[in-house]
């Protein structure tokens, strides 16, 4: 029999690690070098893309994380005001990654194939039991794009 109560919690939208000035210098030097080589080789548009990407990366690195409201309910998964109904989700997995619990949802949507949701410690069993009423569990891993973002400190 499905549970009627919702499971809600809050978490930051990303892990905010302090970046020292060396990190900014390294990204700046790498981006500038690639842009200069691109301009020399006649690819000005790519140089502009690299410089804009570096600026965007800097802005994201100094931005403090927002607190996001997560909710698992009868109608689907809610992240702030966005609802992901269960019929657009294929499966889920509750995992530990870097000593932190996450739920990974596999989506049927092409542009958002995975939805990664941080959870609170100790809530995994309750969340898993609730989700099994609506979705099958499948072994999933953190996507490569997420791992690359972690690698460069985002």
Residue 85 is part of a domain; what is its CATH number? 2.30.29.30
Between CA 68 and CA 82 the distance in angstroms is: 11
Structural domain that includes position 37 = 21-62
Pairing mode of beta strands 82-85, 76-79: antiparallel
Q: Are residues 56 and 89 in the same domain?
A: no
Q: Provide the total of helices (H) and of strands (E) in the chain, helices listed first.
A: 4, 7
Note the pLDDT of residue 32: 96
Task: Confirm whether 37 is domain-assigned.
Answer: yes
Note the pLDDT of residue 36: 96
* 8 Å CB contact between 61 and 34: no
Give how far the C-alpha of residue 105 lies from the chain's centroid of Cα atoms, to the nearest Å. Answer: 11
Between CA 42 and CA 61 the distance in angstroms is: 30
pLDDT by residue for the chain (154 residues), tens digit each?
A: 345 678 888 888 777 677 889 989 999 999 999 999 999 999 999 999 999 999 998 888 888 888 889 999 898 999 998 999 999 999 999 888 777 788 899 998 888 888 888 887 778 888 888 999 999 998 888 788 777 877 766 6
Give how far the C-alpha of residue 152 lies from the chain's centroid of Cα atoms, to the nearest Å. Answer: 14
Bridge partners, residue 11, by sequence: 68
Sheet holding 82-85, edge to edge: 7-12, 67-73, 76-79, 82-85
Q: Are residues 48 and 115 in the same domain?
A: no
Q: Where are the beta strands (DSSP E) in the chain?
A: 7-12, 67-73, 76-79, 82-85, 89-97, 100-107, 114-118
* 8 Å CB contact between 65 and 16: yes
Q: Are residues 86 and 130 in the same domain?
A: yes
Nearest to 154 by CA among 60, 73, 34: 60
Into how many domains does the chain fold? 2
């Amino acid at each position: 029999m499905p549970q009627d109560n919702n499971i809600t919690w809050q978490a930051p939208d990303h892990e905010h690690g302090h970046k020292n000035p060396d990190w900014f210098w390294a990204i700046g030097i790498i981006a500038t070098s690639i842009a200069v080589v691109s301009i020399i080789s006649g690819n000005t548009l790519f140089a502009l893309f690299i410089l804009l990407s570096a600026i965007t990366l800097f802005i994201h690195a100094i931005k403090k994380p927002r607190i996001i409201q997560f909710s698992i309910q009868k109608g689907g998964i809610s992240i702030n005001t966005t609802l992901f109904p269960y019929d657009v989700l294929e499966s889920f997995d509750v995992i530990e990654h870097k000593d932190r619990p996450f739920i990974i949802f596999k989506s049927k949507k092409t542009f958002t194939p995975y939805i990664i949701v941080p959870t609170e410690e100790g809530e995994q069993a309750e969340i898993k039991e609730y989700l099994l009423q609506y979705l099958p569990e499948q072994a999933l891993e953190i996507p490569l794009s997420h791992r690359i973002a972690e690698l460069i400190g985002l």
